[in-house]
A and B are shown apart, each in its own frame.
Chain A
Amino acid sequence: MTWMTDRRRFLAAGGALFASLATRPNFAWAVEGTTLKLRMDSDFQVLDPYGMIGGLDDVMQRCCTVTLCRLSDMRAGNTISPYAAAKYEWIDATTLAFTLHDGLKWTGDFGPVTAEDVKYSFERIHGSDSAWAYQFEKLKEVEVKDEKSGVLHLTEAFKPFEVVALPYYAGHIVCKKATEAAGGKFTTEFPAQCGPYLVDKWEQNAKVTLKRNPDWPLEKPQFDAVEIYIVADDQPALLAYEANSFDFTKVAAASASGLKSTPPANSTLIEATSTRYVWLTINMNAPALKDLKVRQAIQYAYDGDAVVAGVYNGLTKRSTGVVQPGSDYARPANLIAARDVEKAKALLTEAGADGLKLNLYCQSDANSTATAQIIQASLAEAGITVEIQPTEEAAYWALGDKTQGDGYKSIELVLMNFAGGIDPTENLVWFRPDQIGVYNWSFFDSPEYEDLYQKSLSEQDTAKRAEMFHKMEDLMEQSGGFVFICFEPYLAIHRANLTPTILADGHPDPTRFTSA
């Protein structure tokens, strides 16, 4: 038998093959087999809860470690339920007892997940210099009852403790033996994992692949593998989504109208209010900004309407602080609610700061640079020349970090945004005096603020807490160290057959994604 072909036959066969593949059901779907493909906007940096920053750090911890309890999807009201803890109950206002599930075990022959691991995980961060130490501020100690059981003792009643401390960030449990063997801290490699997924492969700044943990004893996640792709900007990510590269991606607010009018096939758009708050840091320690009048001039010159319309397509409103709008605790209005360029000019003249030139640092993504350009243009109307310094992520987070040198003392303006928590104290914590040189880049140093913060932790009355939070935000604004910009609208798109779980910080929880 001889095999004969020619160009025409070859093309015909190729065409037939392509047509058959194209008409195959689900050909265009990225949810192939049991691999879930997600997109995040930046790579992870520190996997140790002690030094983690956020974003993918937290998502990886959700996948590869456990917490005592966990939150529901943010659209379902952020309710809390036990997770690694089989039993979990408040004995009284300062005592929380837990018993871990049987079968949870660490990789690398480090044995079962124990109450001793819980004690080690929480107490190493409590009172430490970790940015997440605030989560355990009210923790007195973790008492180990037996291998699986323990009791969390608080210094005083603090009802939000379980949502502030336990479901994320430093609430992730690490393996005591493995962490100590690794020197007490780790960065880009877990010394031991125990979650529903295990890290399979990391391609730096490109992709993380997680594989199902065969020893996972609780409810099995639906997907065998999770691939997390790193794409910094939302628009290219959307194009990649449309080309079936991912099953889920956050999208820019600017894309909302287009996605509503011409949605990609078999896709669902999620629109929600996010907890991510955006503000302009004005460093009152910088020589050019030491005069309150200069800082107030910036607050008056800022054009909040232009930012909301230009960057967020009117999908959000100007924020009145860092407490989420719509909550019982949100401040009704900014003290400087309306723009007044003439007043800004007069303040600058009074301060003898005519011809002021400032540097504005921002991250180099499209949203940040667009916001920075609007701020630049609005301050220019008052006679302030702003030089925009787009900065890549690692260098950006080093700007206000006191461990990176003395640069944090003199940065001038920084466009910032943080993923917020559920209790207002989780958002307000970053502006306490002890956060100067950590995340309080404004050098806002108010003993009154600190006092109110401490009182708000133990106050049980909602109205009184709200009053405290309003006063704290007034103090922030009066210091001239802040311009509150907005809470970002949350927009994401996913395959229609997928049911995603999105947590309060706006990041997905891949362990709870399901597909029809």
Chain B
Amino acid sequence: MSSVADAAVPPVARAASAGALWRLMSDPMGAGGAVIVVSFVLLALFAPWVAPYDPLKLDVLNKLQGPSLAHLAGTDQLGRDTLSRLIWGSRTALGISLTATGVAGAIGLVLGLIAGYGPRWLDGALVLVFDSLSSLPMILFALAVITVLGPGTTTLILVIVLVSIPGYARLIRAQTLTLKTADFVQAERSMGASVPRILGRHLLPNVVGPLVIVLSMDVPVVIMLEAGLSYLNLGVRPPTPSWGNILYDGYNSLRQQPTLVIAAGVPLVLSTIGFTFLGEGLRDALDPRLQVRPR
């Protein structure tokens, strides 16, 4: 039974998992994106060892210093080392964006599978919820939730999860609706496979690829959202370093020390480029239509 069922797994899923990494790394754009993303992840993971100073340590007598050997990216308006705050800021940015997109992706995946494979009434009800949530303007919704719950990391993650779920769920639902009438799923069903087995063994591997690509492409959007809200003092609370609040500090000190705003902009730009290139690379690596190249 299991051997027959395994044979029913389409080649797409296997190909996606087998050579994806090799194809990703052989694409210069994808490889570049992967390197940038991995670098940020490493910086975030090892921030306590990599950062030259305590990012919260004030030194007001040395505030708004330009770049020097002691402070490679200068100091901020309270004399804190900007480079150290940027490095710790990567932990904030990636921590929030990866957690939020990960949770939203997981919930969206489950809800999308249920909507796509479940009975029509359940599909209708879930789509109504997705549409209702999608109809809320993201920033206004975020501001409303933050006003009610107060700013902070948890609120920020909650907001991002809530606004992201509908998009992911709709993507998975569409994929599931297409796949549930496919021959290999019909064959599995006719052999008496249970619903969890069909969902987990056959549909999940086929829908997760596009979701990973979308998640990867959405990470920079979430980083920007976090930075934007922190810039407005609605994200992480001071003195937690965030690229957004460093950018805000830089903007407020623009006339005295422009280095700060430039330094805060660099990781935002780099991470956006990195995750976008990685997403593009993953799409190419995981899309079966792009893998068959003419000789």
Task: State the A residues within 8 Å of B (CB).
Answer: 233-236, 238-239, 252, 254-255, 257-259, 306, 309-310, 364, 366, 369-370, 372-374, 376-377, 387-390, 395
Contacts and interface: CB of A to CB of B under 8 A. Distances in A.
B157 to A, nearest CB: 18
B150 interface: yes
Contacts of A233: 252
Given A236-B251, A254-B77, A389-B150, A374 B58 contact: yes
B251 A235 contact: yes
B288 to A, nearest CB: 48
B60 A306 contact: yes
Contacts of A370: 77-78
A310 B63 contact: yes
A390 B251 contact: no
Nearest to B237: A388
Contacts of A366: 77, 248-249, 252
A376 B252 CA distance: 20
A136 B153 CA distance: 48
B154 interface: no
B79 A310 contact: yes
Contacts, number: 68
Contacts of B158: none
B233 interface: yes
Contact of B58 (A234, A306, A389, A395): A306
B292 to A, nearest CB: 46
Contacts of A234: 252
B293 interface: no
Given A235-B252, A258-B256, A373 B60 contact: no
Given A236-B251, A258-B255, A309 B237 contact: no
B253 interface: yes
A235 B256 CA distance: 10
Interface in B56-113: 56, 58, 60-61, 63, 77-79
A239 B78 contact: no
A388 B238 contact: yes
A390 B255 CA distance: 24
Of B77, B147, B150, chain A has the most CB atoms within 10 Å of the CB of B77
B233 A364 contact: yes
Contact of A310 (B58, B248, B255, B256): B58
10 contacts: A235-B253, A236-B252, A257-B256, A306-B58, A366-B249, A374-B78, A388-B239, A389-B150, A389-B237, A390-B238
B254 interface: yes
Contacts of B32: none
B65 to A, nearest CB: 13
Contacts of A258: 255-256
B77 A310 contact: yes
Given A310-B78, A390-B151, A390-B233, A373 B239 contact: yes
B202 to A, nearest CB: 49
Contacts of B253: 235, 254
A302 to B, nearest CB: 14
A257 B253 CA distance: 12
Q: Which 3 A-B pairs have the closest CB atoms?
A: A310-B60, A235-B252, A364-B233
A235 B254 contact: yes
A377 B80 CA distance: 12
B12 to A, nearest CB: 50
Given A239-B255, A254-B256, A377-B239, 11 more contacts: A233-B252, A235-B255, A254-B77, A258-B256, A310-B58, A310-B60, A310-B63, A310-B77, A310-B78, A374-B58, A377-B58
A255 B255 contact: yes
Contact of A372 (B60, B232, B238, B252): B238
B261 to A, nearest CB: 11
A238 B255 contact: yes
Contacts of B233: 364, 369, 390
Contacts of A309: 60-61
Interface in B197-229: none
A377 B61 CA distance: 15
A374 B238 CA distance: 11
Nearest to B61: A309
A233 B249 CA distance: 11
A353 B78 CA distance: 29
B254 A373 contact: no
Interface in B130-182: 147, 150-151
Contact of B237 (A306, A387, A395): A387
B226 to A, nearest CB: 16
Contact of B56 (A310, A377, A390): A377
A408 B58 CA distance: 31
Contacts of B61: 309
Contacts of A238: 255
B241 to A, nearest CB: 12
Contacts of B63: 310
Contacts of A373: 58, 78, 238-239
A189 B117 CA distance: 58
Nearest to A376: B239
A310 B238 CA distance: 16
Contacts of B237: 387-390
Contact of B256 (A236, A255, A372, A388): A255
Nearest to A255: B255
B88 to A, nearest CB: 15
Nearest to B150: A389
Contacts of A374: 58, 60, 78
A234 B239 CA distance: 21
Nearest to A380: B56
B138 to A, nearest CB: 19
A377 B60 CA distance: 11
Contacts of A252: 252
Given A388-B238, A390-B237, A390-B238, A239 B254 contact: yes
Nearest to B147: A395
A466 B196 CA distance: 83
A388 B239 CA distance: 8
Contacts of A390: 151, 233, 237-238
Contacts of A257: 256
Nearest to A377: B58
Contact of B238 (A236, A369, A395): A369
A259 B150 CA distance: 37
A414 to B, nearest CB: 15
Contacts of B239: 373, 376-377, 388
A232 to B, nearest CB: 10
A257 B232 CA distance: 26
